[in-house]
């Protein structure tokens, strides 16, 4: 993602430093979200957990692909 920052910044009409915030938010989401999701889905069957995770992942990618605002990419809505 870091190699694409200048292009992403241009497409989103923000500075490169501001676009770098996307990397920080992604890293925080992974560090906080992964253990949290592991604890929340501990009692669910593994196959169901995998399917729910994949569906959420795919839906998130569709939303980001169709949206074009910096706030949407940060997960803050519009």
Q: Which pLDDT does position 78 carry in this prediction?
A: 44
CB 16 within 8 A of CB 27: no
Phi, psi of 55 (to 5 degrees): -65, -40
- Is the pTM higher than 0.75? no
Tell me the pLDDT band of 77, cut-offs 50, 70 and 90: low
Confidence of residue 65 (pLDDT cuts 50, 70, 90): confident
What does the pLDDT read at residue 44? Answer: 95
pLDDT at 1 over 90: no
Compute the residue count for the chain.
78
Tens of pLDDT, residue by residue over 22-62, are 889 889 989 999 999 999 999 999 999 999 999 999 998 89
Task: State whether the Cα torsion 70-72-73-76 is positive or negative.
Answer: positive
Name all contacts of 16-21 with Cβ < 8 Å and 24+ positions apart: 18/70, 19/70, 21/74
């Amino acid at each position: 993602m870091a190699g694409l920052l200048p292009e992403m910044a241009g497409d989103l009409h923000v500075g490169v430093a501001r676009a770098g915030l996307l990397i920080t938010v992604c890293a925080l989401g992974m560090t906080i979200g992964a253990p949290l999701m592991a604890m929340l889905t501990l009692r669910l069957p593994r196959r169901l957990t995998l399917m729910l995770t994949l569906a959420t992942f795919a839906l998130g990618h569709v939303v980001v692909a169709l949206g074009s605002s910096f706030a949407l990419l940060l997960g803050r809505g519009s």
